[in-house]
Amino acid sequence: MEMQGGGSGGRRCEVCGGLAKGENAVQELYAADKDGTRSYVIVRAGQLSFGERRGPREVELNQGLMKSGVLSRLDAAEILVASAMGESARDVSFECYYRDTAEPVDIYTSLQSCRSMGKTTRECFFGDAVDNKSPLSLEQVLQTPLKGSLFPSGREVVGLDYSSMLSQLTPDNAVPFDIDSIRYESA
């Protein structure tokens, strides 16, 4: 994958820039629909797997390109159907992945955001169930059920069914995003 400069010394992938341009074009096209009868939903599924369906209780939706993760094709299909069939999600873009596979797109920015929410570094990496006082082993991490969210951004949506989760999303015009904000600033 070729990389290109992203201004201010930052770098971004060419594919990511192309995706962002495509999403922006969709948003502009539907914004031009003056009667408001049409809407769009942009679903950014995480890394798709051939795994089993885990269902909405295991899935996290997020807006703002802060996190990604793994999602089975079966759960992705259910989210796509719920998005198309429901009326609650209109003019929204979001990421979807299993909560326990969430990883930040930009580790530094995500850690800053998480710490600003009053979380410890351990809680950012391992969720709210982690014991902040004793040493952590890999075995403990793997055996402890995830509580909360990994690298919380404040935009996470979880729930019991996809329709209710989709209804909690914020329309894109209220969540501006600049693709150039995802970059590494050299010292």
Is the C-alpha dihedral spanning 84, 68, 169, 29 positive or negative? negative
**H or E stretch covering 49:** strand 47-49
Q: Can you read off the two tokens belonging to residue 12? A: 């971004």
| Residue 182 to residue 31: CA distance in whole angstroms | 25
pLDDT tens-place values along the chain, 187 residues long = 333 334 333 445 666 677 778 888 888 888 777 777 788 999 999 899 998 999 999 999 999 888 899 999 999 999 999 999 988 888 999 999 999 898 888 888 888 888 888 888 878 888 777 776 777 777 877 777 777 788 888 889 999 999 999 999 998 874 445 555 555 555 5
- Report pLDDT for 92: 92
- Report pLDDT for 50: 94
Q: Can you read off the two tokens belonging to residue 114? A: 């998480």
Return the SS3 of 121: helix
- Report pLDDT for 8: 38
Q: Can you read off the two tokens belonging to residue 71? A: 């999602």
- Report pLDDT for 9: 37
| Residue 128 to residue 151: CA distance in whole angstroms | 10
pTM of the entire structure? 0.74
- Report pLDDT for 7: 39
Q: Is 103 exposed, middle or buried (0-12, 13-18, 19+ CB in 10 A)?
A: middle
- Report pLDDT for 159: 94
Radius of gyration of the chain (CA): 18
Return the SS3 of 44: strand
